[in-house]
Amino acid sequence: NRPPQPPIAKKLPIAGVKQVLVVSSCKGGVGKSTTAVNLALALRANDPTRLVGILDADVHGPSIPKLMNIKGPVFVNEKNIMLPIQNYGLKCMSMGLMAGDMAPIVWRGLMVMSAIQQMLRQVVWGPLDYLVVDMPPGTGDAQLTLAQNIPIDGAIIVSTPQDLALVDARRGVEMFRKVEVPTLGIIQNMSVFQCPNCGHEEHIFGKNGAGELAKEIGIELLGDIPLTGIIREMSDSGKPIVISEPESPQAQIYKEIAKKI
Ligand code: ADP
């Protein structure tokens, strides 16, 4: 009883977009969206002449509007093509910006895919140096179709050091390999918790699991992002840390990772 599948489209480039990077996690709640937003901002912070956009393909749980502090309505141009909403220098598009009665939460596969297709093809993205795509979590049909449909220059996988997340991360790398998308590396999020009072470090989700996985399967560990209150607080208040605390050690980590991609 699978929902009807959308026709396989060719990997058509998106007009005016030089590079498409996808940020993927094969499990929910590991910090994929937080990482995607901070990376997109870091790409621009490293070189303010760069034009960067972020597409929220996590149609069931769009978090870009909150993270980027943006709201609809979305307007269209004279050709009926949607105009992205801009903040902090990024062009953004998300189903979360659309009217409430279009709530995508219960959408089935085909509708999800056509929503993603629309956000890719029916938005004035160009000119852009980088379009960062916040992928839906998982390695199911939606992710596979997406990876087959858009011209992806590189995939970045976010995982915690935990076994459970790692099993999925491995599956993610395998999925991208199948559709011939190069995996640029793994980001180990929530790598360590550092007590803000005494500085003691605690490996809540295990120690360096993603680093070991990266080594084992021969891909790069792009960086370790600690579990810190400030990352969550800044995300919750719609001012990601790369924007609100650009000199913080955490923001520096995102900027260092952005130099590698
Ligand atoms: P996902 O997109 O994988 O579902 P989110 O980016 O929405 O995950 O993150 C889940 C929660 O964890 C959010 O509340 C977010 O603020 C928080 N979070 C993510 N990364 C970190 C981090 N490094 N330190 C602290 N909190 C984090």
CATH code of the domain containing 104 = 3.40.50.300
Q: What is the Cα–Cα distance from 135 to 79, expressed in whole angstroms? A: 27
Question: What type of residue sits at position 80?
Answer: N
Record the tokens describing residue 147, joined without a space. Answer: 């990876």
Distance 28 CA to ligand 1 centre (A): 10
pLDDT at 89 > cutoff 70: yes
User: What does the pLDDT read at residue 3?
Assistant: 61
Angle between helices 109-121 and 141-149 (to 10 degrees): 30
Q: Radius of gyration (Cα) for the chain, nearest Å? A: 18
Q: What is the Cα–Cα distance from 255 to 257, expressed in whole angstroms? A: 5
Distance 34 CA to ligand 1 centre (A): 6
199-205: long-range contacts at Cβ-Cβ below 8 A with a sequence spacing of 24 or more?
203/161, 205/160, 205/161, 205/162, 205/165
User: What does the pLDDT read at residue 68?
Assistant: 97
Instruction: Give mean pLDDT, residues 146-164.
Output: 87
Question: Where does 102-219 have alpha helices with state H?
Answer: 109-121, 141-149, 163-178, 209-217
User: What does the pLDDT read at residue 244?
Assistant: 96
> pLDDT digit string (tens) for 229-259?
999 999 999 999 999 999 999 999 999 999 9
What sign for the dihedral angle of Cα 240, 250, 204, 165? positive
Length of the chain measured in residues = 261
| 22 within a domain of the structure (yes/no) | yes
| 114 within a domain of the structure (yes/no) | yes
DSSP state of 181: -
Residue 35 alpha carbon, nearest atom of ligand 1: 6
Confidence category of residue 90, pLDDT binned at 50, 70, 90? very high
Comparing 131 with 115, which gets the higher pLDDT? 131
Q: How many structural domains does the chain have?
A: 1
For the ranges 52-61, 133-142, 181-190, which has the lowest average pLDDT? Answer: 133-142
Q: What is the Cα–Cα distance from 201 to 49, expressed in whole angstroms? A: 38
| 148 within a domain of the structure (yes/no) | yes
| 5 within a domain of the structure (yes/no) | no
| 6 within a domain of the structure (yes/no) | no
pLDDT at 24 > cutoff 80: yes
> pLDDT digit string (tens) for 176-185?
988 889 999 9
**Does the CB atom of residue 27 touch ligand 1 within 6 A?**
no
pLDDT at 22 > cutoff 90: yes
Nearest CA to ligand 1 atom 9: 31
| 7 within a domain of the structure (yes/no) | no
| Cα–chain center distance at 86 | 17
Residue to substitute in 38, 54, 187, 232 for testing ligand 1 pocket (most ligand atoms within 8 angstroms of CB): 232
For the ranges 9-13, 52-56, 119-123, 194-198, which has the lowest average pLDDT? Answer: 9-13
Residue 122: Cβ within 10 Å count: 14
Confidence category of residue 115, pLDDT binned at 50, 70, 90? confident
Q: What percent of the chain has pLDDT over 70?
A: 90
| 71 within a domain of the structure (yes/no) | yes
Q: Note down the domain range covering 44.
A: 17-259
pLDDT at 38 > cutoff 70: yes
Angle between helices 209-217 and 163-178 (to 10 degrees): 30
